[in-house]
Structure formats: structure tokens, C-alpha cells
Chain A
């Protein structure tokens, strides 16, 4: 059974860096691509980017200058860093499997940007 679980701070101050980790169980992260997607409260879904275990990445151009996704095969997890956050980055952040369609998702974690 493939399971994904997001973790990280639920509150980040403006201008600081949002950092989240997605821990994968039931399958090796070396077996697939892995993505981050976010959803502002009451709004739709936005793809942030993906990583392959080898380190290959692609990001949404709207966020590219601020996003880094990395992977740690020894811990079977991958991570998201988003710099210089503003209130507009307040959202539920989901991790998901694959880089085209998303067949397994984490439950999501709400990150609020506020001082």
C-alpha cells in the first residue's frame, strides 16, 4: 500500500522559507516521479513541481524562482522549499506520486503565512 505523509511547520512568517517533507511508505521513491501540489483555502489546485529520485526536477514557471524540490532515497522522502513566502502562499500543500497524473496523494498539510 503506497502511503504519503506531509510534515513541516504549519505557520511561516512572511519573507521566510517554507519547508515541507513528504515521507513515502510502501514503495521506494526510486520507483517513480514525485510531485508537490497546493490548494489555497477555498480555491483550486496548482501544480508546484516534481522530482525524480536521480535529482531531475521541473517546476511551475510561476514559482520556479522560489522553489526547490529535493529527494533523499536513504530516508525514502522528498522535500519542498519555497523561499520569500507571502500571504499568497497560504495553502494546503499536497505531495503526490507521479509527474503527469497523480494516483496517490498525501492527506495534505495547511501552511499559513502570517507574522
Chain B
């Protein structure tokens, strides 16, 4: 199985901060990576797919980059509604796997 390692697992930030989350794959997955946002008690929400393509309706402050084994999710200016847990997911190989999550909390 492809292992996805997210870092950090937790980060504390302020409104307006630029935030970057990293996802590393145990082997190359080209650009077959998605990012999700999950708030407490809710289902995950798809933010980005194909490593860098913004899902319809997602604010442009979210962006993704990377290919192969290293990927990043960046929030250019953190908003109050962005405090949540973020997961990466690889879709290059079955079984599909998710990263362990990064919880973004208010500083």
C-alpha cells in the first residue's frame, strides 16, 4: 500500500497567515493526489484534485502543488472558516489511501 505522511500533524496559526501542509508518498504517484478539508462532525470536502486543480466552488486562497512523492497544500491567507483538519489522498494505486491528517487550529 502507498503510505502518505502529512506534516505537520498539527499547526497553530492566525487569521491572515499563509499556511503550508506537506504530503509525502512512499512511492511515486505522479499527480494523482487530492486534498480534503474536514470540520468536526462533517464529511470531508474535496478541495483539490490532480495535485493542483481546484474543485469547483473552492476559494482561490487554496492551492496545491507537487508531483511524484512530494505535495503541498497552501492556504494563502487563513480565514476563520478554514480551521479544520486537512487530508491528502492518493488515487494512483489501489487500495486508495489517505494521509494521517493535519489539524489547523487558531493561535
List residues of chain A with CB under 8 Å of any chain B CB.
Answer: 44-47, 58, 60-62, 94, 96, 100-103, 105-108
Contact = CB atoms under 8 A, between A and B. Distances in A.
B43 A47 contact: no
SS class, residues of chain B in contact with chain A: loop
B44 A45 contact: yes
B46 A102 contact: yes
A107 B43 contact: yes
Given A61-B95, A101-B34, A103-B55, A44 B42 contact: no
A108 B87 CA distance: 17
Contacts of A106: 43
Contact of B95 (A60, A102, A103, A108): A60
Q: With a 10 A CB-CB cut-off, give which of A45, A46, A105, A108 has the most chain B CB atoms.
A: A45
Q: Which 8 A-B pairs have the closest CB atoms?
A: A105-B43, A47-B96, A100-B91, A45-B98, A60-B95, A101-B34, A101-B49, A44-B100
Nearest to B87: A45
Nearest to B100: A44
Nearest to B92: A100
Interface of B: 1, 32, 34, 36, 42-46, 49, 55, 87, 89, 91, 94-101
B94 A58 contact: yes
B54 to A, nearest CB: 13
Contacts, number: 45
Contacts of A103: 46, 55
Given A44-B87, A101-B34, A101-B91, A107 B98 contact: no
A44 B99 contact: yes
A25 B3 CA distance: 34
Contacts of A107: 42-43
Nearest to A45: B98
Contacts of A45: 44, 87, 89, 98
